[in-house]
Amino acid sequence: MKSIDLFYQGEGLGEIEHLEVEPDATFAVIKARLAEKHGVAAHAFLFIEDEEDPLADNERVGDRAGAIGLKLHLSRCRHIEVTVTFNGENVDRRFPPSATVARVKRWAAEREFEMSEEEAGEHVLQIVGTHDRPAPGTHIGALAPRNTCAQAFDLVADERVNGALEIDE
């Protein structure tokens, strides 16, 4: 039996982690293993990336995995309350913790702030009060402060440096 690659993020995890499991393993077993390894409550939720609902404990990994495995998210939060601010205007929406930064940005920029795809491509999400601009594939649940189920972003212009910088001495 060939093992399946699981790539996962979760609350308080700074990096994407990897785990190999057997196809007949249930998500209850995976969740318990990850909860113990990372000190997350055993009643946490396990999500597939960008899916709205948590996985059922009795589902088998092999029934949900694709050719490259699965991307998962472990969180005690069922939803993350997201606020995005642009030009002094705020929009709010609940997302699953497995939603990617790219998905949130697309929703805010194109749907809520009515930017064209090209305009949206020139903007990024930045965590409010910081200069942190998380990568598009980062799960928002991994960014939410540990004791909250919320995250706020500013939608800001992407700073691009064109050409070489010359310094006069």
Q: Would residue 164 count as lying in a domain?
A: no
The whole-model pTM stands at 0.88
Going through the chain in order, the beta strands assigned E by DSSP cover: 4-10, 17-21, 45-48, 70-75, 80-86, 89-95, 123-127, 150-157
Instruction: Please tell me whether residues 108 and 45 are part of one structural domain.
Output: no
Give the residue-averaged pLDDT of 127-140. 96
Residue 169 lies in a domain: no
Number of structural domains the chain divides into:
2
33-84 pLDDT, tens digit per residue, is 998 888 887 788 999 999 999 999 999 999 999 889 999 999 999 999 999 9
Over the stretch 112-123, which tens digit does the pLDDT of each residue have?
999 999 999 999
In whole angstroms, give the CA distance from residue 90 to residue 33. 38
163 inside domain = no
